[in-house]
Structure formats: structure tokens, C-alpha cells
A and B are shown apart, each in its own frame.
Chain A
Amino acid sequence: MPQNKIADALRQALLEEMESNQDLICIGEDIGVLGGPYGVTRGLMDKFGEDRVLDAPISENAIVGAAVGAAMSGLRVMAEIQFNDFLTCAMDQICNQAAKIPFMMGGQVSVPIVIRAPIGATGRAAQHSQSLEAWFMHTPGLKVVMPSTPYDAKGLLKTALRDDNPVMFFEHKLLYGGTSSGGKALSAVDGLGDDFTPAPDEDYEVPFGKAAIRREGKDVTIVGTSMMVHRAMTAARQLAEEGIDVEVIDLRTLVPMDDDAIIQSVAKTGRLVIASEDVSMCGVGAEIAAMIAEKAVYYLDAPIKRVSVPNTPVPFAPVCESQVIPNEERIIEAVKAIV
């Protein structure tokens, strides 16, 4: 049965990979008995046992470190960190160990781990609302993945679980397709329609480093990640009614990044808006803007616009949160400013 929700698509990928690879184990907080706060690992402990699906202590550094050590000695590990904000507690093991050990050992070992973590603002204030993907783009040795559809979630997770490098896998809370156990992260997927491609039953991979063109257009390019792809699509539909033809690119992976897809699109449109949910300073948009400035500045007919979180922690008050998190209106505003 095709999976219409990202949480279910991810679970199907895990289920299939764990069935076909006995060396794959899962470690995380509340992933066993509970099945994960968003249900991604529901049923896996019953099926594969407590030796392969481990409910961990609240010890993010040791969760990632144990994943690194298990991977160096021959296993593959999916490590779930409950909120991407908690990755801060595991930064040594992610950035100093996982990312660098294969390098410092001159390639003697590999660290095939996938660290999954939810991102995005959902009314939980500044320690549960961040999107920290840019930090990990800044650490050589890590791959960074951000699916926006169930189809990609399954295919990208399969690719990640088969990759021999550490992969940071960021999932937007509003895209899982259900409410969290706390009830805070209401689903945003019902309104996404056909953009939210279901995951089919078959075994398939979505390759890293290949962006998807979600909508073709000739006037302006919007590059988006994760939830922002869908907001860009909504913006594009509204702009079409005003005669502005928008091309929407879903990056799917930030490391490796499909520079060529962005450059080709900008060569066609001459205009670029980057929509991401991280903080603008040294963020995803900054990197893409710099890349275009270096490689394709002469294609531009207007300044590049970034739509991202201003340099602020995400505020709690809903009226303030919606002020800082990029939405359709801000994307439309950015497009209109350069068309």
C-alpha cells in the first residue's frame, strides 16, 4: 500500500532495510516501546527485538558515540535524536568523531550511520523549533539530507542507510503526517495535494546530490528545502495567477548539493529566491547565494533574495513565531521584489 505520510514512508524504509540487512540496528530515545514520538519506529521493536531496536537512556552524546563505535566495528546504525535541537548535546560525537574518524584513520574504517532528527517550528519555543542543517553542512565528512515528500523520504532514507558515510537526515515535524504525542505538531500535509508524492511499496533509492524540479517556470527560481518547498509551491500557484511564472527546485540533499540544477535554472530565469527555515546568518541561503555569485553571477538580472529565519531564537508567542518563520506571503514578497 503506498504511504501517504512521511512518518509511514520512513518506517517502511526502515522495515525493509532491517529485513534485508541483519547488521542494521536502531538506537534512540523512546523508539522501542513507544515507537518514537512521531511513530516512525512503531512496531519495529516487536518485529526485530530489543537487540536491534534499542531504547536508549537520555544520553545523546553516547547514542551517537555508540552508533559510531558500532559502525566502525561492522554494523550499520540508525540513531534517532528526538529533536534536532538536542543534537547540540552530541556535537563532539557527530562533528569530531563521526565526521572525522574515517578521514583521520586514512580510510581504514567507515562510519555508516544515519542520524535522524526532526526540525521546524511548531509552537514549542526556541529549544524545540530550530532547523540546524547549516551547522552540519559546515562540517566536512557529513552528508545532509532533507526530504519533503513521502516518496523522497523513503528513497532518501534507503540511500542513506546504504551509504558508507555519516548522514544527517532532517525531517520536518509538520510533514510527518500526524500529530505528535504532545499534540503540538499538527499535520500540514492535508493541504499539500499532489505535491506530496506518496511512497510506493517497491524498493527504490533516491540518489543524493540530485535536486528535483517541482515546478517549471521561466521568470524566477525558488530553491527550497523540506517544508519550504511546499510553501514555495503555494506561493508559485498564487504568483501564477498574477502572471509570474515560478520555477521551484527542491534540493533534497544539501550535502552533496546539486549546484548544476540551481545554475541551470538561474541561467533560464535570471532571478533567484532561496527559501529555508534555518537562520539566515551563514545559512543554507548564504551558501547557495555565494555559490551562484562565484559560478553564475552573470546570469542574474536582479539581486538574490533569501527567505529564512532572521537572526533570532524562535519566539514562543504564536504571533511572534509566525513573524519569523518563512511563509507563503514572505516568499511572494521576495519574488515580487526582484521581478
Chain B
Amino acid sequence: MKSKGTQIELYRMLQLLRKAEEKLYYLFSTREMPGTMHQYIGQEAVAAGVCAALRDTDYITSTHRGHGHLIAKGADLNGFMAEMFAKATGSCKGMGGSMHIADASVGILGANGIVGGGIPIAVGAALTCKKRGEKNIAVSFFGDGATNEGAFHESLNMASVWNLPALFVCENNVYGFSTHYRRVTNIENIADRAAAYGMEGIVADGMDVLDIYKKTNEAVKKIREGGGPVLIECKTYRYMGHARFEKPVYRTRDEVEEWKKRDCINRLKAHMLKGKKYTEEDLAKIDEQVMAEIEAAVTFAENSPDPEPDSYKDYIFKGGIQ
């Protein structure tokens, strides 16, 4: 298996996340896809950088803005795309959709429609990891908004006091829907909250995949060796609206453009080309491969059958009601 942490693999992942979201945006806009969605464009460095430090046997919990986390953790792209289309071949058989996609085969315990909902679940997965003693860890992704939920406080305290192998990744994308995080959070660095739990807190540049990968990798090594949980705050930005369509009354176009100057893909690309090891052609080739992969997944999804209308009954109770 290729190392996920090399520059070329990080580049491939960033592009996969970006292009997949762009394709999804197109499919939604043309109404070929049902439901709603929360897009990840702008934040790709976080999922790519963190997941590059993880194994298939590590667990993650994700959020309503979860597409990036899932793909970067290794969710089957066909199953992912088919789930977006609510098809029977979706990873959740069409029962979850954008906000609930999961692929348990690679440790993805689900995107989650409830802000903060996945954090305690990651604590539980970390309990399993500790009990099994196989040096796996559990990672919870959540936004700046989730850190004002009680679940955040309860979970970080519990993970710390039980010394669990858990990594808490706060993806600070500045806004909880329309509300600037500083209007609802009276500290600049959310990572500072780690101190309240007797836990290490780290700030990473959420627009720089190399910084995130390096810091996560160090944290993950410590966590695997029983060093206890870590909170890492990745300062990033979402380019798109909160959900599908919205009026951006809460921020200026200039602000968005300022953040785009620090775009994670452009930065990694510039860094790689400056290093002379890679050429424009090398990277263009990867872009092509990524696009082909996405198109193949879309074709798979479009050609897949809908679930049977009463198939949902199979999933209410495991083994049926009795």
C-alpha cells in the first residue's frame, strides 16, 4: 500500500475531495440528486491531513459536513456516491444519505446529523480500542460550533479521565451556519479548551495539509502508545454556503476571497512544483485519474436500482422486533 502521507498522495486526496464536491454541487444544482448536503470545499486539508495519519482499523466519527472525512478515511467511492443518490447499492442501502453516510468496513462510524453527536460515540470506540489493546485509536471530527455543545465537554473530560486513545479534531471553519465563532465563543483558540480537561491542545493551519499531517502524525503516535487523548484545532474556512443554497449575508465576498488565497490545493501544488520533484504534467495526470474515478462512481450510482419501497423495514431492529 502506498504511504498516505507522501506529498503526491496528499495531493491526490485533496483533489479527490475537491472534485467530488464540485461534481456533487453540479448534480444537486441540476436536481439529479435528492436530499440536502453540506459541502466541504475549502476544508479539504483537514480530512486529508488527519486521515493520512490513520489506519483502516482506526475509527472515525464525522459530522453533517462529512463527505471529506469519509472519502479520506477510505470509504468505497461507489458506495458513497450511490448513497448520495439514495440507491440500494449505497453504503447505507439508501437509508442514510449525505448526513449519515458510513462505511463500517474502514472504521467509519458515520457522518451525523446532530451537532456534537459523534463525539461521545468516538469516546466509546476509543474504549473498545483500549480494551482490545491493538493500538488503534478513535478520531472525532467536529466543527467550532460543536465545542459549545455539552457533548463536547462531557466527552473530552471522560476521554481524558479514562486515558483513552482518542483524537478530537476541531475543524474551526469560522462560522456555525451564519454565526461567527467569536460571537458565540469568547476565546480565540478553541484548542485552549484542552487545558480544562488535562489534555494537550494543538493549533494547526487548517489550510495547510502538510502542517496538519505533521501535527496529527505526532499526536497519533503519542495516542497509540497510551499517552492519552489530544485536541487539535485546525483553522480553516468553508468556501460554500452552510447548506445547499443560501444568501451569504453574514460574510463578505472579500473575506471569502482572502481565504481562497490560502487555498490548500494551490499551496501544496506550489510547494511541490517548487521542490522540482514533480512537474505540472505529473499533477495534471493525477487530476485526470481523480476525475475518472469520480465519473465512474457517478455512473455506478446512476445505473444502480432504487431500494425496494419497504426495504427500510429490514433495518428498524436487528433480527426483527422479537
Q: Which residues of A contact B (CB under 8 A)?
A: 25, 51, 54, 56-57, 59, 61-62, 64-75, 77, 92-93, 96-97, 101-110, 140-141, 143, 164-165, 207-209, 255-256
Q: Is the CB of B161 within 8 A of A57?
A: yes
List 10 additional contacts besides A103-B315, A105-B100; criterion CB under 8 Å.
A61-B150, A62-B123, A68-B121, A70-B128, A73-B109, A96-B117, A103-B312, A105-B92, A107-B318, A143-B317
Task: Point out the residues of chain A lying under 8 angstroms from B322, CB to CB.
Answer: 207-209, 256
Stretch of B8-16, B35-43, B152-160, B296-304 contacting A (4+ beta carbons < 8 Å): B152-160
**A74 to B132 alpha-carbon distance, docked (Å):** 10
Q: Is the CB of A70 within 8 A of B125?
A: yes
**A19 to B7 alpha-carbon distance, docked (Å):** 50
**A30 to B27 alpha-carbon distance, docked (Å):** 52
Task: Point out the residues of chain B lying under 8 angstroms from A141, CB to CB.
Answer: 316-317
Q: Which of B96, B113, B131, B316 contacts A75 (CB 8 A)?
A: B131
Q: Is the CB of B124 within 8 A of A65?
A: yes
Q: Is the CB of A69 within 8 A of B96?
A: no
Q: Is the CB of A97 within 8 A of B128?
A: no
Q: Does B265 contact A (CB under 8 A)?
A: no
Q: Is the CB of B94 within 8 A of A56?
A: no
Q: Is the CB of B59 within 8 A of A73?
A: yes
Q: Is the CB of B104 within 8 A of A93?
A: no
Q: How many residues of B contact A (CB 8 A)?
A: 53
Shortest Cβ gap from B73 to chain A (Å): 14
Q: Which residue of B lies closest to A103 (CB)?
A: B315
Shortest Cβ gap from A207 to chain B (Å): 7
Known: A56-B158, A75-B128. A105 touches B321 (CB 8 A): no
Q: Is the CB of B155 within 8 A of A62?
A: yes
- Count of chain A to chain B residue pairs whose CB atoms are closer than 8 Å in the complex: 156
Known: A59-B158, A140-B316. A104 touches B124 (CB 8 A): no
Task: Point out the residues of chain B lying under 8 angstroms from A25, CB to CB.
Answer: 127, 131
Q: Does B95 contact A (CB under 8 A)?
A: yes
Q: Does B151 contact A (CB under 8 A)?
A: yes
Q: Does B63 contact A (CB under 8 A)?
A: no
Q: Does B162 contact A (CB under 8 A)?
A: yes
Q: Which residue of A lies closest to B158 (CB)?
A: A62
Known: A69-B125, A70-B127, A75-B128. A62 touches B109 (CB 8 A): no
25 pairs from A and B in contact (CB 8 Å cutoff): A25-B131, A51-B130, A57-B157, A57-B161, A61-B120, A62-B120, A62-B151, A68-B124, A70-B127, A73-B109, A75-B131, A77-B124, A97-B121, A103-B95, A104-B95, A104-B96, A104-B100, A106-B90, A106-B94, A107-B314, A109-B104, A141-B316, A164-B318, A207-B322, A208-B322
Q: Does B45 contact A (CB under 8 A)?
A: no
**A207 to B132 alpha-carbon distance, docked (Å):** 31
Q: Which of A57, A97, A106, A255 contacts B96 (CB 8 A)?
A: A106
Q: Is the CB of A69 within 8 A of B138?
A: yes
Task: Point out the residues of chain B lying under 8 angstroms from A102, CB to CB.
Answer: 315, 318
Task: Report B90-147 residues with CB < 8 Å from chain A CB.
Answer: 90-96, 100, 102-105, 109-110, 112-114, 116-117, 119-132, 138
Shortest Cβ gap from A21 to chain B (Å): 13
Q: Is the CB of A105 within 8 A of B120?
A: no
Q: Which of A108, A109, A140, A143 has the most CB of B within 10 A?
A: A108
